[in-house]
Amino acid sequence: MNRKEWQAIERAGKLLGLGDRATLGEIKRAYHRLSKQHHPDTAGKDRGAEDDMMYRLTAAYNLLMRYCNEYRFPLSRPEGDIYDAEDWWMDRFGSDPLWSKRK
């Protein structure tokens, strides 16, 4: 990911009021809580501002969901579970005849 994408993810997290580490459930709960609060149907006279806020909340939620769906691997190495690079490769692509050493 490049710097702009990381900055967009950080802005989305701040908009939804999330910490540095948020679970998928926390993201969903934050979005639902804020969307109930800022939904245009529940707004009083300032409906335009609520429309804008809902667009921003929905865009932030969709960005975070896309990020969570694309990156299913852990972003940090688990303690005690150290892979050799060749072992890691063989675990994932070892059965593929194009990439494996076995023919």
In this prediction, residue 44 carries a pLDDT of: 67
> What angle (nearest 5°) sits at the alpha carbon of residue 81, between those of residues 20 and 90?
110
In this prediction, residue 94 carries a pLDDT of: 67
In this prediction, residue 76 carries a pLDDT of: 44
Q: What is the dihedral of CA 47, 53, 39, 71, to 10 degrees?
A: 160
Say how many CA atoms lie within 13 Å of 67 toward its Cβ. Answer: 22
User: In this structure, which amino acid lies at residue 48?
Assistant: G
Structure tokens at 23: 């679970």
Identify the segments of the chain with pLDDT beneath 50. 73-77, 103
Structural domains in the chain, sorted by start? 3-76 (1.10.287.110)
In this prediction, residue 77 carries a pLDDT of: 47
In this prediction, residue 32 carries a pLDDT of: 93
In this prediction, residue 4 carries a pLDDT of: 85
Query: pTM here?
Result: 0.62
